[in-house]
Structure 1
Amino acid sequence: MLKRTMIIVLFFSLFLSAVPKEAAATGSAWAVIDADTGRLLEGYNENVRLPIASLTKIWTALTFIESGSSFGDVTISPQASSAEGSSIYLKQGMHIDAETLLYGLMLRSGNDAAHALSEQAGGSLEGFVDLMNDKALVYGLKRTVFTNPSGLHDDHHLSTAYETALMLRYAMDNDKFREIAMTKNHRYEGEDQIYSWRNKHRLLHSESTAIAGKTGFTKTAGRTLATYFEKDGKNIIVVTLNHSDDWNTHKNLADKVFSSYKLTTVAKKGTYAILPGVEMELKNSIRLLLKKGEKAKLQNIVRIPKGKSEKSTGLWTVLFDNEPLIASEIIIKQ
């Protein structure tokens, strides 16, 4: 009986040692995407809905910037000055420009800055959250719901590692957001206050390939992290949710993807004869991150307008596994 028990215990121990580290962390997830196309390159639980903590502020910043709200002075309300959680120590009644609040939001994760920006652009915190959710739907983030602009815990405030990576991808397409998110240090001198902020994202200061990102933490969400990496023309985004060793995880995942994926030209710029008397011009080459064996999964579809005209435009679309991945405008000459 004793021998049988020892065998069972040994078998159970071997089983546990075979479980991947990711699976041992309940409620954790990660995703690596191609920042140019949004394609998922690597992931674990990437579509599981989880709390994202202050990674929420990526969407808060983009929503404010694209709202058309003034970048002028914002008067800090009692509610903003007393916002729960991380703070840049705004005082009730003070006046500070919205751009500075955006830096405080992204570099120092100020919940008071998030509240003040929300009131400025949405008329109220609730009104701004509606804008955030509307924008999420417009961008196709179907598994993302916001209940506040800061990332404070709420059972309904959830996203996924994959959609959070997409948030950073869409936000980095905005020049103002990109400028702020890439800033390592920012100094502001107002009439009554001076701020000097260092970006909390450690990798921006230690890794040359990490150019932007956002940190996050709540007791429920654990540590959350988003990083935008660039290397040799390759652009990727890494997101981890509820990972304690997130700095090393991001570096390791980025290194793995950069080494295993090549930037491959799948369509060269130039002029192509597609029909008798009809040519098309592709002005820029189409390049994709592909690993060994993936090129066989690509398809090219060219759409040209009906009718005859001396010059018109069409679309060259590249599909991966029968799903549209990237498209480029072409000029049709007849």
Structure 2
Amino acid sequence: MDTIKVKINLGGYKVNRRIISFILILMIFASTPYRIYADDKLNIQAKSAILMDFNTGEVLYEKNSHKKVPPASISKIMTLLLGMEALESGKIKLTDNVRISSHAAGMGGSQLWLEEGETQTVENLFKAITIRSANDASVALAEHIAGSEELFVKMMNDKAKELGMKNTNFTNATGLPDDNQYVSAYDVALMSAELLKYDEIHRWLTIYMDEILVGIKKDKVQSLVNTNRLVKDYDGTTGIKTGSTSKAGYCLAASAKRGNLELIAVIMGAETSKIRFDETIKLLDYGFANYDSITIGKRGDILGKVPVHKGNISHVEAVLDRDSIILISKGDKANISKEIVLPDFLEGPIEKGQEIGRLIVRVDGHEADTIRLVSRTKVDKANFKEMLKKTIKSLLISK
């Protein structure tokens, strides 16, 4: 595909600032995708709500989505996220035996009734958090990762800042009531999307029923039934988490996938448990009825080769740094175009994963996504012998 390069150079000309400002405003409006929200049509019965596309992060519906509200057990999504990070980094293992502290065993609310001094595997703690929303298991996992719940809470808030969660503050690992603990529906969607990136978590989020032996002697059986009934009642459900307290009302962050389209719906502050599930289904149904996803490319796809000068190999392959998936409205005949931007050549050395170009995806002429193209392999700088060999080969080919 040919690459079109357009350069605008205003150097040397006196240009009216008002004209420039006007042109910039027009460009901003022209480049913004037109999205019709369904606020009036859906009439969601909750304090706040949001429907977000998992792949693009585009908001398809919102109601008071940035309002600070009590999180209840929805905050355990962050506990699970930090748990998955610790697993991936090797800091903890699923087979680790975690000793239950008096602090963890003393948690109120929803719990597994763990006893002080007993041990549970990390995997069982994940199960208890995702299925039963157990507060004691949440604190036990937090202590195992950070050493104390207080240190873990700092990790939670640091991660929230990293994800751009601007209306969130955590004070514990459980979601138990605290006047200084709050989230927004938008922030819940952000951390839910981050959690869903871990394949391992789906194994627990989608279990409907299980059981765990508890107690120092492991002589008690605790049955687990998923608090998210959408796992068995809604086609394509992939998670995520319920929450409820008298102050927070009934909350739910839910995700579902059909075909390429994966959605995250968040309901905060519904009056009853039934309402939170009904309104969540309403949001998901709206999303699946009106939108679809098109896969442009997958991470690692080779999109071109670039000649390498002064390298120990002659060419390097340019691959996609991440997946590219475009959200479109159903029924729209969108004109999707791709532009591959690569240099004429590169100088060695080149690191594996180093950015060497871009893929620009446009929908109806508007830029919808830009993905880095990176080097598939490492390229070392050529030594004298390799340079001489390449020069001789080039001369022979030119003849």
Q: Is residue 358–residue 370 contact of structure 2 (8 Å, CA) maintained in 1?
A: no
- Determine if contact 2:44/2:279 at 8 Å carries over to the other structure: no
Q: 1:96/1:235 Cα in 2 relative to 1: closer, same or farther (>3 Å)? A: same
Structure 1 CA distance for aligned equivalents of residues 370 and 303 of structure 2 = 19
C-alpha distance in structure 1 between counterparts of 2:166 and 2:323, whole Å: 31
How far does residue 206 in structure 1 lie from its aligned partner after superposition?
1.2
Aligned equivalent of 1:327: 371
- How big is each residue's C-alpha offset from its partner over 1:84-117, in whole Å with a ceiling of 9 and x where there is no partner? 2111111111111121011111110111111111
Gapped regions of structure 1 (runs ≥ 5): 1-18
**1:56 alignment counterpart:** 75
> Which residue in 1 is equivalent to 2:393?
none
Tell me by how many angstroms 1:261 deviates.
Answer: 0.9
User: Among residues 179, 184, 187, which one is paired with 2:211 in the alignment?
Assistant: 187
1:222 alignment partner in structure 2 = 249
Give me the whole-angstrom Cα distance separating, in 2, the residues matched to 1:49 and 1:305: 47
- Whether the aligned pair in 2 keeps the contact of 1:22 and 1:29 (CA below 8 Å) is no
After TM superposition, the structure 1 stretch with the greater mean CA deviation from structure 2, 305-314 or 139-148, is 305-314
Counterpart check, 1:290 vs 2:318: no
- State, as a whole percentage, how many aligned pairs show the same letter: 27
Other-structure match for 2:101: 77
Structure 1 Cα separation of the partners of residues 42 and 250 of structure 2 = 16
Structure 2 equivalent of residue 14 of structure 1: none
Q: Structure 2: how far apart are the matches of 1:211 and 1:162?
A: 19
Cα deviation for residue 176 of structure 1 reads 2.5
Superposition CA RMSD, Å: 3.4
* Counterpart for residue 199 of structure 1: 226
| Structure-to-structure mapping, 1:217-256, within 5 angstroms | 217-244=244-271, 245-256=275-286
The CA distance in 2 between the partners of 1:179 and 1:158, in whole Å, is 28
CA distance in 2, matches of 1:83, 1:120: 16
TM-score (norm 1): 0.79
| Matched residue SS, 2:210 | strand
- Contact map agreement 1:316 1:330 (CA 8 A) in 2: no
Give the secondary-structure state (helix, strand or coil) at the position aligned to 1:242. strand
User: Structure 1 residues 75, 267: closer, same or farther in 2, change over 3 A?
Assistant: closer
2:36 matched to which residue of 1? none
- What is the CA–CA distance in structure 1 between the aligned matches of 2:192 and 2:370, rounded to whole Å? 18
Say if 2:236 is the partner of 1:209: yes
Q: Secondary structure at the match of 2:61?
A: strand
Q: Highest Rg: 1 or 2?
A: 2
- Aligned counterpart, 2:186: 162
SS in 1 for 2:203: helix
Q: Secondary structure at the match of 2:263?
A: strand
Query: Are the structure 2 counterparts of residues 146 and 305 from structure 1 closer, same or farther at C-alpha, using a change threshold of 3 Å?
Result: farther
2:56 alignment partner AA: T
Q: Is the 8 A contact 2:163 2:190 kept in 1?
A: no
In the TM superposition, what is the alpha-carbon distance from 1:306 to its structure 2 partner?
Answer: 7.9
Residues 229 and 237 in structure 1, CA contact (< 8 A), matched pair in contact too? yes
Deviation of residue 267 (structure 1)? 7.2
Structure 1 residues 24, 33: closer, same or farther in 2, change over 3 A?
closer
- CA distance in 1 between partners of 2:276 and 2:44 (Å): 16
CA contact (8 A) 2:129 2:138 kept: yes
Aligned partner of 1:153 in structure 2 is 177
Number of the residue aligned with 1:6: none
Could you tell me how far apart the structure 1 residues matched to 2:303 and 2:144 are?
50
CA contact (8 A) 2:202 2:238 kept: no
Secondary structure in 2 aligned to 1:213? strand
Q: Is the deviation greater in 166-175 or in 184-193?
A: 184-193
State the alpha-carbon separation in 2 of the partners of residues 252 and 217 from structure 1. Answer: 20
| Residue type at the aligned position of 1:45 | N
Aligned length: 308
| CA 1:21–1:168: 2 relative to 1, 3 Å | closer
Structure 2: segments with no counterpart, 5+ residues = 1-39, 307-314, 377-399
Asked whether the equivalents of residues 83 and 112 of structure 1 are also in contact (C-alpha less than 8 Å), the reply is: yes
Equivalent residue for 1:4?
none
Taking structure 1 as reference, are residues 250 and 21 closer, same or farther at Cα in structure 2, changes over 3 Å only?
A: closer
Q: Judging changes above 3 Å, is the alpha-carbon distance between structure 1 residues 111 and 32 closer, same or farther for their aligned structure 2 residues? A: same
Report the TM-score when normalising by structure 2. Answer: 0.67
Distance of 1:24 and 1:225 partners within structure 2: 13
Q: 2:181 & 2:362 partners in 1: Cα distance?
A: 33
